[in-house]
Amino acid sequence: MTNANSEKSQNSVTLTDNQSGQQWELPVIDGTVGPRVIDIRKLYGETGMFTYDPGFTSTASCDSEITYIDGDKGILMHRGYRIEDLAEHCDFMDVCHLLLNGDLPDSKQKTKFEHDITYHTMLHEQMIYFFRGFRRDSHPMAVMVGVVGALSAFYHDSTDITDPHQRMVASHRMIAKMPTIAAMAYKYSVGQPFVYPRNDLSYAENFLNMTFSVPAEEYKISPTLARAMDRIFILHADHEQNASTSTVRLAGSSGANPFACIASGIASLWGPAHGGANEAVLRMLQEIGSKDRIPEFIERAKDKNDPFRLMGFGHRVYKNYDPRAKVMQKSCHEVLDELGIRKQEPLLDLAMELERIALEDDFFVEKKLFPNVDFYSGIILKAMGFPTSMFTALFAVARTVGWIAQWNEMVEDPNHRISRPRQLYQGNTGRELPESFKS
């Protein structure tokens, strides 16, 4: 990385104040790949000015070695590996190890890592009472925000963020316990008994078993469904500085404990513009109902006066096909074939037709609005038997490793400071309190 104090004209830009004519030299930092970055850390001190960037569309909030996205080319890499390769040749535990530790595990490391995760999958028994406190019709994300936040009340031996060992234990705990919490939220919502984790199953198999098995009969885990579940976890594992990850980093920047930080990430993920999108895709497809109504909805999406948006289309970063969407589309077909429900799943047909029409429409082409990962994940999850309310909870299970890897990276960064953005104040500049308030 180029030093921020590098020589003047070589790696810097000049800022000119057109009012006063004053000029300042701002250093430019080069990453290993990707756009160059203007270093404005000293801007306020030197110029008395802030930058204005609501939504952070032009702001790098940190340096990171974890995930790289080239939105124009449709590239997503974790620690330098392409997502397509990871989805094809690795399992979720490999990807977790990669994100957390920087490298794919060798066989010895893999065995140890799987052991570390597996032996943290159970929840403190007392936590079951938390579930009982919720209404049965609570949204699983509401339950998850609460229960994950409450982990810090139970696991005091892993909340000291200055201790690397405690940070590692907290990381393993969260990756391990999240499927248990999500499955319990589901079981509670349908009134079935909780199913405890099983250490003889893989991460994905264990999650399917905790979600779908009942004590009354044997549950056979389909290898195709377990593979699809594992792939869904891989595809959602991390995605650079998105809203929930930035939320986790921001919460963590104050020194908050890791369980509280991840709970804040879950809260952010819940929104329909982020993790809630696959749920919204399904609702939208159900609302459209039949192929002949697609043009009507396309027109609504294009109408500036109509708030309706085509859910599952568009992305803040990808201005090309989301590489995860391609893998997900393939998985989607495999799952429907395995379950033999392609014909009974008219929503997939509808989704394909919607995709075809939108991709040929000038509005979507010009604005580079391609299907994103959520466009297909909702259909697969529905076919697998998950209710729509669980979709975002599954996303949270998968993204936990990304959040925790990013949080660890921030805590370990010697330069990290509390995140404290500034503002462009547009309000009143001083008002007299009305007399009636002064007595």
Residues that bind ligand CMC (CB under 6 A): 239, 242, 273-275, 277, 301, 309-316, 367, 369, 372-374
Q: Is 315 a catalytic residue?
A: yes
Pairing state between β 67-70 and 75-78:
antiparallel
User: Which of 39, 91, 94, 374 does the annotation list as catalytic?
Assistant: 374
**Cβ-based nearer residue to ligand CMC, 319 or 342:** 319
In the chain, what is the straight-line distance between the N-terminal and C-terminal CA atoms, in Å? 61
Task: Kindly state the smallest distance separating residue 395's Cβ from ligand CMC, in Å.
Answer: 8
54 versus 430: smaller Cβ distance to ligand CMC: 54
Q: How far is the CB of 375 from ligand CMC (least distance, A)?
A: 7
CB of 416 to ligand CMC, least distance (A): 24
CB of 108 to ligand CMC, least distance (A): 34
Between 120 and 274, name the residue whose CB sits nearer to ligand CMC: 274
Q: Strands of 37-38's sheet, edge to edge? A: 12-16, 23-29, 37-38
Could you tell me if 211 and 183 are in contact, meaning their C-beta atoms sit under 8 angstroms apart?
Answer: yes
**Which of 371, 345, 344, 377 has the alpha carbon at shortest distance from 357?**
371
Our CB check for ligand CMC shows the closer of 124 and 367 to be: 367
Out of 238, 274, 315, 322, which one is annotated catalytic? Answer: 315
Distance in Å, CB of 428 to ligand CMC, minimum: 30
Kindly state the smallest distance separating residue 271's Cβ from ligand CMC, in Å: 9
User: 226 vs 284, which CB is nearer to ligand CMC?
Assistant: 284
Least distance (Å) between residue 29 CB and ligand CMC: 24
Nearby residues of 413 by Cβ (< 8 Å), 6 or more positions away: 62, 63
How many angstroms separate the CA atoms of 212 and 105, rounded? 30
Of the pair 173, 274, the CB lying nearest ligand CMC is at 274
Q: Which is nearer to ligand CMC, 120 or 324 (CB)?
A: 324
Q: Which residue is nearest to ligand CMC (CB)?
A: 314
CB closer to ligand CMC out of 161 and 404? 404
The question of whether 17 is a catalytic residue gets the answer no
Shortest gap between Cβ of 434 and ligand CMC (angstroms)? 40
368 CB contacts (<8 Å, ≥6 apart)? Answer: 319, 320
Partners of residue 378 on adjacent β-strands: none
- Active site amino acids: 315, 374
